[in-house]
């Protein structure tokens, strides 16, 4: 399965930042020489790598729950899903500033609920970030009735959660639905009957990595 990819390899969210950093490097080079422009050139390179957004192909398998983001697994635990009001298995992915920050749907289904909550900006690597930080939750119902919740969570330096879908929209596995700028976390809540396919500390990639399998 290869989901639609609506823009080039560099995320549209980064075009302004990339253009500004390149323009600044050129201005400094023209005014003071290329040596003085090196830090600004490095800044442009950082912006380029941060906003990269490569297309991904989802693996086959009806019961697979795919990673919604690139990063490192920081939680695999029984928890209460506060957005769907149910017991669940929570799997959390922490994204540092060097990861791809595009967010993609973990399962096929219709969005039953979109819920935004203002909050703080503690380190997204900490468990309390799931409850205290600014966040945006999507409750997705698969065609078989199973609910999967995907929560975008702002981090220590992240200050902008972007979500491009609404209640009633349909998502396909691997479909791009949002972006978080500059370090963050994504929590996924699945039914307790699901079997995790990742462990704490493991690195995953959005769409191509399998977080869990549902019966």
Q: How far is CA 116 from CA 76, 134, 135, 156, 161, in A?
A: 23, 8, 6, 18, 10
Catalytic residue list contains 2: no
Closest CA to 108 of 75, 80, 146: 146
Name the CA radius of gyration of the chain, rounded. 18
Instruction: Give the separation between CA 164 and CA 178, rounded to whole angstroms.
Output: 6
Active-site position among 102, 130, 184, 209: 184
What secondary structure does DSSP assign to 155-172, as a single string? Answer: -SS---EEE---TT-EE-
- What distance lies between CA 201 and its chain's CA centroid? 17
In three-state secondary structure terms, 209 is: coil
Instruction: Give the separation between CA 152 and CA 165, rounded to whole angstroms.
Output: 13
- What distance lies between CA 83 and its chain's CA centroid? 18
DSSP assignment letter at 13: G
| CA count, 13 A, side-chain hemisphere, 57 | 4
Looking at the DSSP bridge assignments, the partners of residue 139 are 113, 149
Catalytic residues: 184
């Amino acid at each position: 399965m290869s989901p639609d990819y609506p823009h080039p390899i560099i995320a549209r969210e980064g075009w302004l930042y990339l253009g500004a950093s390149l323009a600044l490097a050129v201005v400094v080079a023209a005014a003071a020489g290329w040596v003085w422009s090196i830090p600004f050139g490095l800044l442009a390179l950082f912006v380029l790598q941060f906003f990269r957004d490569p297309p991904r192909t989802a693996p086959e398998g009806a019961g697979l729950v795919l990673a919604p983001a690139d990063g490192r697994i920081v939680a695999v635990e029984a928890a209460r899903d506060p957005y769907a009001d149910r017991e669940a298995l929570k799997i959390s992915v922490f994204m540092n500033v060097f990861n791809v920050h595009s967010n993609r749907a973990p399962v096929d289904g219709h969005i039953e609920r979109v819920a935004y909550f203002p909050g703080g900006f503690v380190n997204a690597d900490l468990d309390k970030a799931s409850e205290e930080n600014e966040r945006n939750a999507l409750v997705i119902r698969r065609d078989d009735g199973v609910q999967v919740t995907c929560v975008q969570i702002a981090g220590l330096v992240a200050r902008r959660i972007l979500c491009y879908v609404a209640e009633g929209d349909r998502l396909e596995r691997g479909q791009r639905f949002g972006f978080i700028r500059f370090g963050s976390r994504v929590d996924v809540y699945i039914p307790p009957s699901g079997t995790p396919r990742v462990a704490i500390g493991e690195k995953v990639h959005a769409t191509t990595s399998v977080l869990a399998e549902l019966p």
